[in-house]
């Protein structure tokens, strides 16, 4: 019997291995390629979707802007109203108008013999009152009124600035007063 | 050193070419497209924000009644006019003095400045909230009448405020008073409504201000008044 020896079996195994690698490489490449195409497709689709959305929102914006434009007059009135009301609100909140009426009323009730000749009040709450008293008793009574006022709520600071005795025995006086903050 | 046998490595040619093409396509097509996507997303977000603002603004505007709004604006403009209205102030002060039983003896205006201030920048002095025009009003009458005048002045259109009160006893025993009054105005806002700026709603406090000023006294019909009282020569009737 004749025996045959195959000297090429090592070469075949090598080529089979190569063919297998080649097949795997090709399949893997195609899978990568298909995946890549899918990714590219997804990217393009998303981009197209975004553009479509932008277009939609832009047209909605234009539509709304047109409608707002039609209501421009109402908007202007609203802006004007808001501007004025917020300024007035600020004004009233910060407005510390001293009560000039209370000041005038305060000097209505004065002792007989005392006469107010000049009265000046400023909105900062400062007052200057000048007058004449026919006698020293009336003047004393008048000045006591301010002492009493130390306990009530109108003035915080009272200064007798000038006191002049006249030839006829009367007294000329000037008084500075500061109103309390809450007046 | 590196001897690459092309024939032996032929099997890797297809994957290498494919990878090269993928890389090339990524650099030339995919990368710019992804950057476009980021830009588009930003634009879309900005559009959506704008759309929300516009939708809210539109619904607010549609909810505002034109007639009612006009009335409210008329009220605030009467109390706070857009410019220094010398004639109107003169008329109102004169009417107020007469209504309080005082004799309107005279008026002095200082530093009037520009009269047409509708579009001018107001000058705010010393932390003032509103620009104003100052008048010295000279009135003659008893203390009670002066008090009436001061009380009425607190709620009259246009908005006024007493800055200084000076009373002198005259020889006839009737006091003569000089009242320094500030009359307030406010020019129009610089911009009247930008499209994509939302409308600021009127707050409750501001609504209260509206109620308060709606009770302010209004003196109407200057012409009628001048005719009825026989006072001639309104120096400011243009």
pTM comes to 0.74
Decide if B140 contacts B176 (C-beta within 8 A): yes
How many other C-beta atoms are found inside a 10 Å radius of the C-beta of residue A115?
14
Best B11, B41, B43, B82 member to test A by mutation, with max A CBs in 10 Å, is B11
- Supply the pLDDT for residue B222: 60
User: A83 and B189: CB-CB below 8 Å?
Assistant: yes
User: In this predicted model, what pLDDT tens digit does every residue of B185-195 receive, in sequence order?
Assistant: 998 887 766 77
Around Cβ A63, how many Cβ atoms within 10 Å? 13
pLDDT digits (tens, 9 = 90+) for B105-160: 888 876 666 555 554 566 666 677 888 888 899 999 988 899 999 999 988 989 99
Judge if A104 and A76 occupy the same domain.
Answer: no
Is residue A37 within 8 angstroms of chain B, CB to CB?
no
The answer to the question of residue A150 being in a domain is yes
Tokens of residue A158, six digits: 């009272």
When pLDDT is cut at 50, 70 and 90, the band that residue A173 belongs to is very high
Mean pLDDT of chain B: 82
Nearest to B187 by CA among B86, B77, B37, B98: B77
What residue spans of chain B are helical by DSSP H?
13-25, 31-63, 66-79, 86-99, 143-153, 204-214, 222-229
- A57 → closest Cβ in B48, B143, B186: B48
Is residue A97 within 8 Å of residue B161, measured between CB atoms?
Answer: yes
Find the DSSP H helices in chain A.
9-70, 72-94, 100-106, 136-149
- Under 8 Å CB pairs connecting chains A and B tally to 197
CATH value of B80-186+202-229 in 3.40.190.10, 3.40.50.1390, 3.30.70.330, 3.30.70.60:
3.30.70.60
Nearest-Cα distance to chain A for B168, in Å, is 5
Q: Strand pairing of A126-133 and A171-179?
A: antiparallel
Residue-averaged pLDDT of chain A: 85
ipTM over 0.85: no
**Closest-CA distance of chain A to residue B103, Å:** 19
**Is B39 an interface residue toward A (CB < 8 Å)?**
no
Residue range(s) defining the domain that contains residue A151? 100-179
Give the model's confidence band at A90: pLDDT under 50 very low, under 70 low, under 90 confident, else very high.
very high
| CA B33 and chain centroid, separation | 48
For chain A, the first-to-last Cα distance in angstroms comes to 139
Residue B238: its pLDDT value, please? 37
Q: Any chain B CB within 8 A of the CB of A46?
A: yes
* CA distance, residue B157 to nearest chain A CA (Å): 13
Q: How many domains does chain A have?
A: 2
**pLDDT per position as a tens digit, B71-104:** 999 999 999 998 888 888 888 999 999 999 998 8
Does the CB of B146 have a partner CB in chain A at under 8 Å?
A: yes
Q: Is the pLDDT of residue A61 over 90?
A: yes
For the stretch A19-52, pLDDT in tens is 888 888 888 888 988 999 999 999 999 999 999 9
Examine residue A1 and state whether it is found in any structural domain, yes or no.
no
B209/A22 touch (CB, cutoff 8 Å), yes or no: no
Q: Where are the domains of chain B?
A: 13-61, 80-186+202-229
Residues B152-178 have a mean pLDDT of 87
pLDDT at A98: 78
């Amino acid at each position: 019997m004749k025996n045959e020896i195959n000297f090429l079996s090592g070469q075949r195994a090598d080529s089979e291995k190569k063919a297998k690698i080649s097949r795997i490489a090709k399949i893997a490449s195609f899978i990568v390629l298909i995946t890549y195409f899918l990714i590219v497709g997804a990217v393009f689709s998303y981009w197209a979707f975004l553009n479509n959305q932008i277009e939609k929102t832009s047209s909605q914006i234009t539509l709304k802007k047109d409608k707002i434009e039609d209501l421009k007059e109402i908007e202007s009135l609203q802006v004007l109203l808001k501007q004025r009301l917020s300024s007035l609100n600020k004004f009233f909140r910060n407005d510390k108008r001293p009560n000039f009426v209370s000041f005038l009323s305060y000097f209505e009730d004065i002792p007989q013999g005392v006469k107010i000749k000049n009265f000046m009040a400023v909105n900062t709450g400062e007052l200057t009152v000048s007058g004449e008293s026919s006698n020293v008793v009336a003047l004393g009574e008048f000045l006591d009124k301010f002492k009493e006022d130390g306990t009530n709520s109108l003035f915080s600071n009272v200064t007798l600035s000038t006191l002049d005795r006249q030839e006829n025995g009367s007294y000329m006086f000037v008084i500075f007063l500061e109103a309390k903050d809450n007046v | 050193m590196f001897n690459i046998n092309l024939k032996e490595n032929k099997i890797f040619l297809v994957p290498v070419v494919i990878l090269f093409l993928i890389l090339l396509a990524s650099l030339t097509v995919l990368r710019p497209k992804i950057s476009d996507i980021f830009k588009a997303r930003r634009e879309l977000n900005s559009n959506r924000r704008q759309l929300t603002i516009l939708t809210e603004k539109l619904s607010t505007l549609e909810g505002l009644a034109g007639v009612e709004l006009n009335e409210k604006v008329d009220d605030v403009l009467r109390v706070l006019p857009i410019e220094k209205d010398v004639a109107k102030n003169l008329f109102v002060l004169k009417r107020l003095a007469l209504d309080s039983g005082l004799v309107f003896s005279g008026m002095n205006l200082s530093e009037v400045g520009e009269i047409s201030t509708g579009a001018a920048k107001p000058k705010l002095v010393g932390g003032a909230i509103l620009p104003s025009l100052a008048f010295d009003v000279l009135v003659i009458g008893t203390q009670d009448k002066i008090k009436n005048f001061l009380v009425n002045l607190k709620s009259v259109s246009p908005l006024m405020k007493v800055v200084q009160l000076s009373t002198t006893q005259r020889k006839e025993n009737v006091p003569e008073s000089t009242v320094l009054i500030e009359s307030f105005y406010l020019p129009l806002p610089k911009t009247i409504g930008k499209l994509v700026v939302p409308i600021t709603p009127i707050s409750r406090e501001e609504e209260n201000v509206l109620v308060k000023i709606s009770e302010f006294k209004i003196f109407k019909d200057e012409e009628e008044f001048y005719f009825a009282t026989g006072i001639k020569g309104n120096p400011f009737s243009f």
